[in-house]
Amino acid sequence: MDRDGRPPPDPTDGRTGARPRRARPRLLRMRARLGRARTAVAHRATRTAARLRAVVRRARQAPPPPGPFRPGFWRSPLRGPWLTSVFGLVLLAGIPVLLVTGLLSYAAYNPGLGPPDDQTPDKGVLGFYLFDWPTHPYWLYRLTQGVHVTLGVTLVPVLLAKLWSVLPKLFEWPPVRTLAHALERLSLLTLVGGAIFEFATGILNIQLFYVFPGSFYTLHFYGAWVLAAAFAVHVALRLGRMARALRSRDPAAELRTDLARTRPEPPDPDHLVPAAPRAPSMTRRGAVGMVGAGSLLLLVVTAGQSIGGRLRATALLAPHNRDPGSGPNGFQINKTAAAVGVTPAHVGPDWRLELHGHGPALVLTRDRLLALPQHAAALPIACVEGWSTADQHWSGLRLTDLAALAGLPHAGSVLVESVQPPGPYSSVLLRGNQIHDPRSLLALRVNGADLSIDHGFPARVIVPANPGVNNTKWVRRLTFRA
């Protein structure tokens, strides 16, 4: 009873706000089923984990298959962490430069403008760094792409030596020991595969040997990002070990060691040092010297195509007509008119240039173009294959003047179309900053003479710091856009 003499409230009476009713029988049954399911899943997971551990244990106990999986197969006394780290240090410095200059080349192609320039429409976040490619300095693309190609070729012996030094790692037995080991193996295989793919496709492109199952541009771009990711993971996993290996031996003393005193390195946890090494037939000094000499030789026979001058004669690996002839048009070209299907009929007396912009289109003959105010610029041609010309003296009409003539003096882009049959780079989209650079021309003449048909007669585009393939030849239409 309370103070007023009334009985206390019934605890089960919902109207009084007392404690809730008991759980319903159906809810209890559902909870019971859920508990039994959790127990069953945990039991199965335990059994699966036990079976996996048993499989791994049996694999570890099983003898390795014959051949390269056997520890005694690898017997070179030179293999070891120190030599591997020496080659790795060179690649650690070189591969980031290759990646950066390669991605800069991608930016120079102006893929941010969309088609027809962009051949990677599904790039997504991989295009995060794109920017308006500058026209200053005018030799920028010649420098970045020359470094990219020359360095890539020069690093080939170092890459092969590094792969040789770690070859036993690719044949470890058992192939996978733990989850961490599996991830490390995956990163290693991705790194090796990505490096081989990028170097191989790049060299094939330099030699104009187009055997790719698609566009080189697209394949090389996505391959570069795969290599970059694998390289970053590998460096994070191995940088500490590489530093310790480099500190373990005195480089000067190692490179003074003769053959009689050459000894295998102490056993290492990565098993790079052979278990039963044979007698050495070469010193580590000889191995490093042989790789260095190979790189130096490739540098000598490659760099001339980018540097030019007298060194061009040494560019034995450059397929672009090392002797292009004499006269005003005697400089390198990428593809001839015949190679892309341009005939004299396409560029004969009936040729006209169409200007589109604001208002009616203008149709101009070559004589009419020559009668307009002419301007000059000294600019090279630099191509993705790494070759470039010396500065050539071009003359013609400024693109910015043509934009004004088309009624769009502040044009933001221009679509340049060629008379050549439709195909890769038969048209290109240039940015506003490229249009309004006073050195950007619709060139009609070069070095005081009319353009030859192979150099783009009757008119071609020439833009500072622009990839050569974007300096469209045999122009028939310019469409300026606001």
Instruction: Give me the DSSP letters along 69-123.
Output: TSGGG---TT-SHHHHHHHHHHHHHHHHHHHHHHHHHHHHT-GGG-TTT-S-TT-
**pLDDT score of 48:** 85
Q: What is the mean predicted confidence (pLDDT) over 15-20?
A: 48
The total of other beta-carbon atoms located within 10 Å of residue 396's CB is 25
Q: At residue 219, does pLDDT exceed 60? A: yes
> Within 10 Å of residue 366's Cβ, how many Cβ atoms?
17
pLDDT at 192: 94
pLDDT at 20 over 80: no
Contacts 24+ apart (CB under 8 A), 358-361: 358/406, 358/407, 358/408, 358/482, 359/406, 359/407
pLDDT tens-place string over residues 21-74: 555 777 888 888 888 888 888 888 888 878 877 776 776 667 778 888 887 888
pLDDT given for residue 16 in this prediction: 46
How far are the Cα atoms of 24, 29, 30, 474 from residue 20, in angstroms, in the given order? 11, 19, 19, 87
Count CA atoms within 13 Å of residue 256 on its CB side: 5
CB 329 within 8 A of CB 452: yes
Give the model's pLDDT for residue 212: 80
CA separation (Å) from 103 to 132, 158, 183, 384, 400?
A: 13, 22, 27, 12, 29
3-state class (DSSP) for residue 186: helix
Contact 85, 397 (CB under 8 A): no
In the chain, the amino acid numbered 424 is P
Kind plus residue range of the DSSP H or E element containing 479: strand 475-481
pLDDT of residue 8: 55
The SS3 of residue 470 is: helix
Q: What count of other Cβ atoms lies within 10 Å of the Cβ of residue 239?
A: 12
Distance CA 338, CA 153 (A): 30
Helix axes 156-165, 81-108, angle to 10 degrees: 140
Token pair in block for residue 385: 């294959």
- pLDDT-derived band at 15 (thresholds 50, 70, 90) equals very low
CA distances from 300 to 18, 28, 142 (A): 93, 82, 18
Q: Give the pLDDT confidence score for residue 59 in this predicted structure.
A: 64
Distance CA 133, CA 144 (A): 12
CA-closest candidate to residue 192, choices 114, 105, 279, 91: 91
Does residue 185 have a pLDDT over 90? no
**Least confident residue range of 2-16, 136-150, 170-184, 250-264:** 2-16
What's the pTM? 0.85
- What is the mean pLDDT of the segment spanning 360-374? 97
Which pLDDT score is estimated for 56? 66
Token pair 């500058």 in the structure block, residue: 134
Q: List the structure tokens of 40.
A: 């069953």
Whether a cis peptide bond, with omega within 30° of 0, leads into 121 is: no
User: How many Å apart are CA 150 and CA 386, to the nearest integer?
Assistant: 7
Q: Is 293 left (phi over 0), alpha (psi -120 to 50) or beta?
A: alpha
Question: How large is the average pLDDT for residues 184-198?
Answer: 92
Of 376, 331, 93, 118, the C-alpha closest to 235 is 93
For residue 201, give Cα distances in angstroms to 109, 211, 345: 19, 9, 36
b/e per residue 53-68 (b: at least 16 CB within 10 A):
eeeeeeeeeeebeeee
How many other β-carbons are positioned within 10 Å of the β-carbon of residue 93? 10
